[in-house]
Chain A
Amino acid sequence: KQEVTQIPAALSVPEGENLVLNCSFTDSAIYNLQWFRQDPGKGLTSLLLIQSSQREQTSGRLNASLDKSSGRSTLYIAASQPGDSATYLCAVPYNTDKLIFGTGTRLQVFP
């Protein structure tokens, strides 16, 4: 059974810092890995999708990497801003028709 874990569970950093969020999965036979953002009281928004054949994917200040062999992905946020404060979740497909989510990392960026 696929299990997805995220470390740390919470993170608080000053504005401007570069930071890394971690995601680990137990079954390396994945099609892709996705990072989502969730704002308080809201649904999830997809940030980045990395296909299994890719090593990384970039969108603005966000960079996600994928190492299937070690069962790990990282989300790198450059020059963090207060507007980046949210919960970040990673997810991988399981049995081709559903996503398994990690427990998330709650990020707070203070001015």
Chain B
Amino acid sequence: NAGVTQTPKFRVLKTGQSMTLLCAQDMNHEYMYWYRQDPGMGLRLIHYSVGEGTTAKGEVPDGYNVSRLKKQNFLLGLESAAPSQTSVYFCASSPKLTGVGYTFGSGTRLTVV
């Protein structure tokens, strides 16, 4: 089925460990986004990309890095995980600007202990 696939779905990290979250979309969308969702705070944008080879910072970029080497993939990296990064991470893609046609992945639940 077409859509946005996130891997892994669950992960537990120890403080200081690193990991990469993978987002893959097969809809040929130009724009891709990483959000985190925390209780009472809604979704907050971490980083986004407006095309292959481009990335930009969102609201809460500190502690994260991203790469978009291929149009269909958007990677989110945590170099040194902290308990404050415990959250549910969502990837999304869209074909246009201004929020039209957003498709979300099912999320990655990350716990940092």
Contact = CB atoms under 8 A, between A and B. Distances in A.
Contact of A99 (B102, B105, B106, B107): B102
B39 to A, nearest CB: 9
B90 A31 contact: no
Interface string B50-88: 100000101000000000000000000000000000000
A22 to B, nearest CB: 15
A43 B99 contact: no
Interface in B7-53: 31, 33, 35, 40-45, 48, 50
A44 B90 contact: yes
B42 A89 contact: yes
Contacts of A9: 40
A100 B99 CA distance: 9
A103 B99 contact: no
A96 B97 contact: yes
Chain B's interface size range is 20 to 34
Given A34-B99, A93-B97, A93-B99, A42 B48 contact: no
A102 B104 CA distance: 16
Given A41-B107, A97-B31, A49 B48 contact: no
A43 to B, nearest CB: 3
Contacts of B35: 101
B98 interface: yes
A46 B42 contact: no
Nearest to B105: A43
A96 B40 contact: no
Interface in A10-47: 31-32, 34, 41-46
9 contacts: A32-B98, A34-B99, A41-B107, A42-B106, A44-B90, A49-B99, A97-B50, A97-B56, A101-B42
Given A34-B99, A97-B56, 7 more contacts: A42-B107, A46-B102, A91-B99, A96-B98, A97-B31, A97-B50, A103-B41
